[in-house]
Amino acid sequence: MNVDLSRVVRLARIELTSEEEHRISPQLAAVLRYVEKLKELNVEGVEPTAHAVPLENVLREDELRVSLTQEEALSNAPKTVNGLFVVPKIVE
């Protein structure tokens, strides 16, 4: 099992050290080998289960609830300016 770790970590936005990469890569391969087990089963015609307990039409009415204050909203922010959450400059 060969995993393109660099592609996956880029998607997951996780920077790994090279030691971590060396450790995780074979571990991941072992787990993926193990889960190959599922290929033994014939799942044709089987419906996938996304929810353990089937429910439907769980909705709320369009009614206002109290929001946080700006101060509360920003209270955990690493950096703020004028009520905004500050991030490094977004380049498109």
Partner 1 sequence: MPNSLTIHRLIERLNSGDVTSRQATEACLNRIQSIDRELNAFIGFDSEEALTQADVADKTRANGGEGALLGVPIAIKDAIAVKDHPLNCASKILGDFVSPYDATVIRKLRNAGAIVFGRVNMDEFAMGSSTENSSHGPSRNPWNIKHIPGGSSGGSAVAVAADECVASLGSDTGGSIRQPAALCGCVGLKPTYGRVSRYGLVAFASSLDQIGPLTKDVRDSATMLQVIAGVDDRDSTSVSEAVPDYSSNLTGDVKGLRIGLPREYQVDGLDSEVKDSVNSAVECLAERGAEIIEISLPHTEYAIATYYIIATAEASANLARFEGVRYGARVNGSDPQEMNSKTRGIGFGEEVKRRIILGTYVLSSGYYDAYYLRAQKVRTLIREDYLKAFEEVDLIASPTTPTPAFKIGEKVDDPLQMYLSDIFTISCNLAGLCGISIPCGFSKHGLPIGLQLQGRPFGEPDLLRCAHTYEQATDWRNKKPKLD
Partner 2 sequence: MEYEAVIGLETHVQLKTHTKMWCGCANEYGSEPNTNVCPVCLGLPGALPVPNAEALRKTALTGFLLNCDVPSYAKWDRKNYFYPDNPKNYQLTQLDFPSTVSGCVEFEFGGGVGKVRVNRAHLEEDVGKSFHFSDFSGVDFNRAGVPLLEIVTEPDISSPDMAYEYLNALKSILEYGGVSDCDMEKGQVRCDVNISVRQKGDTELGEKVEIKNMNSFSGVRRAARYEISRQMEVIESGGELVQETRRWDDDAGITDGMRTKEDAHDYRYFPDPDLMPHRPSEEWLAAVREEVVELPLARKRRFMTSFQLPESGAEVLVADARLGDYFEEVSGEGKNPKLVANWVINNLRAKLVETGISIADLKFSSTAIPELVGLVEEGQISSSIAQEIFADMFETGKDPKVIVEEKGLSQMSDSGDLEAFCRDAIEANPGPVDDFRKGKETALNFLKGQVMKASRGKANPQVVGDLLVKILNG
Task: Give the count of alpha carbons within 13 A of 24, CB side only.
Answer: 14
Under a CB-based contact definition with an 8 Å cutoff, are residues 77 and 85 in contact?
yes
Q: How far is the CB of 7 from partner 2 (least distance, A)?
A: 6
Contact between 84 and partner 1 (CB under 8 A)? no
Residue closest to 32 by CA, chosen among 3, 9, 53? 3
Per CB under 8 A, does 82 bind partner 1? no
- The CB-of-2 to partner 2 minimum distance in angstroms stands at 17
Displacement of CA 63 from its chain's centroid (Å) = 30
Subset of residues 10 to 49 that bind partner 2, contact rule: CB under 8 A = 10-11, 13
Q: 32 with 3: CB under 8 angstroms?
A: yes
Site pattern 35..54 for partner 1 (x: CB under 8 A): x-xxx-x-x--xxxxxxxx-
Summarize as ranges the residues that interact with partner 2 (CB under 8 A).
7, 10-11, 13, 50-51, 55-70, 73-74, 80-92
